[in-house]
């Protein structure tokens, strides 16, 4: 079965650089969630999209932005990177009109900021 | 607001012993509860979920969990663990879909199975 695809899997950047993380949801999933997991931490919700519109926003820095495109894939753009942005970034997708909100997670992108 | 508390940050156990990972939640609305497992350097894999109905939920890899509304708990159990169960386990509660539906995770429990 198709799963959530995230690219790249690993990314190394310098401070103050920018990064773009991509997420391709499972086919026919219209909702995408982004989570950030710092070292030794639990995943924290960043932002979500439903039908290409932002549906909810969590503790996402102003330096970050995201969008969902017409093919439902999503991109998380991160600018002016800081050391503290080093983390594992997960994308999850949810089926159309799922009242139970079962989320399927991708393998994550590990971002290292030097 | 919803929250999740995992009562043990680390649980060491010997192979073939039973294990229970404890999770308590706080919610003012109907809840959907989940357990995810994260193996080293990997993503999150759904173990099991409670949506409604029977309070005893069976998941993959021989795990099960019991939803207890009066105690606001959703503890994860396995009668006999294997070395391969060594991983980080996260309990999570889902916000209602019409409120955004994000998952709120507990702090995680590191299960370490020793031979």
Cis peptide before A8 (omega within 30 of 0): yes
- Can you read off the two tokens belonging to residue A56? 């909810």
- Can you read off the two tokens belonging to residue A66? 């995201």
CB contact under 8 A, A101 and B94: yes
pLDDT for A51 equals 87
- Can you read off the two tokens belonging to residue B62? 């021989």
Q: For residue A14, what are the contacts with CB-CB under 8 A and spacing of at least 6?
A: A81, A113, A114
Which among A51, A6, A47 is positioned nearest to A25, based on CA atoms?
A6
Q: For residue B87, what are the contacts with CB-CB under 8 A and spacing of at least 6?
A: B37, B38, B39, B40, B110, B111
Q: How far apart are CA A57 and CA B8, in angstroms?
A: 29
- Can you read off the two tokens belonging to residue B103? 């998952």
Q: In chain B, whose CA is at the least distance from the CA of A53?
A: B100
Which residues form the domain of A44?
5-113
The per-residue pLDDT for range B43-101, each reduced to its tens digit, is 899 999 998 888 899 999 999 999 999 999 999 999 999 999 999 999 999 887 777 78
pLDDT for B43 equals 86
Strand, coil or helix: what is B99? helix
Q: Which ranges of chain A have pLDDT less than 70? A: 96-100
pLDDT for B49 equals 92
Q: How far apart are CA A7 and CA A34, in angstroms?
A: 13
Q: How far apart are CA A25 and CA A29, in angstroms?
A: 6
pLDDT for A66 equals 96
Measured between beta carbons, the chain A residues lying within 8 angstroms of B99 are: 56
Q: Are A90 and A106 in contact (CB under 8 A)?
A: yes
CA B7 to chain centre: 11
Average pLDDT over residues B14-18: 97
Domain count, chain A: 1
CA A75 to chain centre: 7
Q: Quick count: other Cβ atoms within 10 Å of Cβ A89?
A: 24
Q: Residue A13: give its domain's CATH number.
A: 2.60.40.10
| Per-residue confidence band for B1, with pLDDT thresholds at 50, 70 and 90 | confident
Q: What are the structural domain ranges in chain B?
A: 3-89+99-114
Residues within 8 A of A (CB atoms), B 21-40 only: 32, 34, 36
pLDDT for A96 equals 65
User: Which CATH homologous superfamily contains domain B3-89+99-114?
Assistant: Immunoglobulins (2.60.40.10)
Q: For residue B60, what are the contacts with CB-CB under 8 A and spacing of at least 6?
A: B47, B48
pLDDT for A102 equals 80
DSSP B82-95: -GGG-EEEEEEEEP
Pairing of strands A10-13, A109-113: parallel
pLDDT for A40 equals 87
pLDDT for B29 equals 72
- Using the Cβ of B84 and the Cβ atoms of chain A, whether some distance falls under 8 Å is answered with no
The per-residue pLDDT for range B29-45, each reduced to its tens digit, is 777 899 999 998 788 99
Q: Which of B44, B104, B107 sits opposite A105 (nearest CB)?
A: B44
């Amino acid at each position: 079965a198709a799963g959530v695809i995230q690219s790249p899997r690993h990314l190394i950047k310098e401070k103050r650089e920018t990064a773009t993380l991509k997420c391709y949801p499972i086919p026919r999933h219209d909702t995408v969630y982004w989570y950030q997991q710092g070292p030794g931490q639990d995943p924290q919700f960043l932002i979500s999209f439903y039908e290409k519109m932002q549906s909810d926003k969590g503790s996402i820095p102003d330096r970050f932005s995201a969008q969902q495109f017409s093919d439902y894939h999503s991109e998380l753009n991160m600018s002016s990177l800081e050391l503290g942005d080093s983390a594992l970034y997960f994308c999850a997708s949810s089926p159309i009109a799922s009242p139970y909100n079962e989320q399927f997670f991708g393998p994550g992108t590990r971002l290292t900021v030097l | 607001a919803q929250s999740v508390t995992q009562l043990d940050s680390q649980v060491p156990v010997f192979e073939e012993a039973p294990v229970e990972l404890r999770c308590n939640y706080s919610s003012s609305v109907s809840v959907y509860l989940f357990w995810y497992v994260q193996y080293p350097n990997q993503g999150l894999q759904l173990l099991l979920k409670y949506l409604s109905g029977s309070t005893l939920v069976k998941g993959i890899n021989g795990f099960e969990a019991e939803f207890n509304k009066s105690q606001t708990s959703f503890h994860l159990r396995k009668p006999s663990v294997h070395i391969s169960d060594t991983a980080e386990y996260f309990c999570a509660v889902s916000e209602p879909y019409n409120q955004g539906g994000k998952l709120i995770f507990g702090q995680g429990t590191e299960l370490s199975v020793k031979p």
